[in-house]
A and B are shown apart, each in its own frame.
Chain A
């Protein structure tokens, strides 16, 4: 099944690339854009198992995110039945 992981920068961490994208959007006329933060999105195909959530959290902490600067959010599929 598919597990989705969102990794985003913690508040306070500079994101110069996000700033550049914000500038690009504003130069296109989208003056309403007040800020842009760039993160990463992972789609993991994993076998279902009872401890899946704990294992995906461990994956995030050890590799997918650097928790010095990033936080993560995990979306598990709804189990059928």
Chain B
């Protein structure tokens, strides 16, 4: 069974939901505190949403220097699957593992609503067999993805836009909701797949992300 590290920073608040989603997809969640320096033997690393370090300075700017992040960087560099959701996405852009940056929403409002997304771009460990459009919840104040023109051209050209809003809620450049690194093993997105893994809580469109990681893509023969 795959072992999946779910990091917890001070201020993370989606880590328990994330561990639940991992377990639901048939994998073993491993809680890892940000002060650890070693991930142990794991097959993937997930960075949850929340408000690490109170979003002081910039979202994700301080969490990026947590001791565990050196191990995450090494894990990602070796090709290991890494997924950042919401604040986890912000942390991954701050530390340079993902391109661009997340700016304040265009409308200056905290957005808490469902969005529709297309799934596109290159193959990633988190989107195998995941078709779109997906309906997932967002809950963020700084979710407007931005990059300079050169980076944007590269990201689009290399198929690194993995999730795109059908209707742009926050002003993100090119409707980008989620991107990958050049290799495709590191992915970040603002919407919360872990919140829609059971019909009882609003939807199941997020489950495919975790089934994909588990090697049980929803579209394939289980």
Contact = CB atoms under 8 A, between A and B. Distances in A.
B101 interface: yes
Interface residues of B, number: 20
A66 interface: yes
Contacts of A64: 57
Given A16-B108, A20-B108, A66 B101 contact: yes
A69 interface: yes
A44 interface: no
A66 B146 CA distance: 12
22 contacts: A13-B103, A14-B106, A14-B146, A14-B171, A16-B105, A16-B106, A16-B107, A63-B61, A63-B65, A64-B57, A66-B61, A66-B94, A66-B101, A68-B93, A68-B100, A68-B146, A68-B147, A68-B148, A68-B151, A69-B101, A69-B103, A69-B146
Interface string A56-71: 0000000110101100
Contacts of A13: 103, 146
Interface string B54-92: 000110010001000000000000000000000000000
Main secondary structure of the interface of B (DSSP, over half): loop
Interface string A37-81: 000000000000000000000000001101011000000000000
B144 A68 contact: no
Given A63-B61, A69-B146, A17 B104 contact: yes
A68 B152 CA distance: 12
Contacts of B106: 14, 16
Nearest to B170: A16
B144 A14 contact: yes
A15 B135 CA distance: 29
Contacts of B151: 68
Contacts of B104: 16-17
A16 B148 CA distance: 17
A13 B104 CA distance: 11
Contacts of B171: 14, 16
Question: Nearest 4 pairs between A and B by C-beta?
Answer: A68-B101, A16-B108, A69-B101, A16-B106
A14 B94 CA distance: 18
B21 to A, nearest CB: 30
A20 B108 CA distance: 9
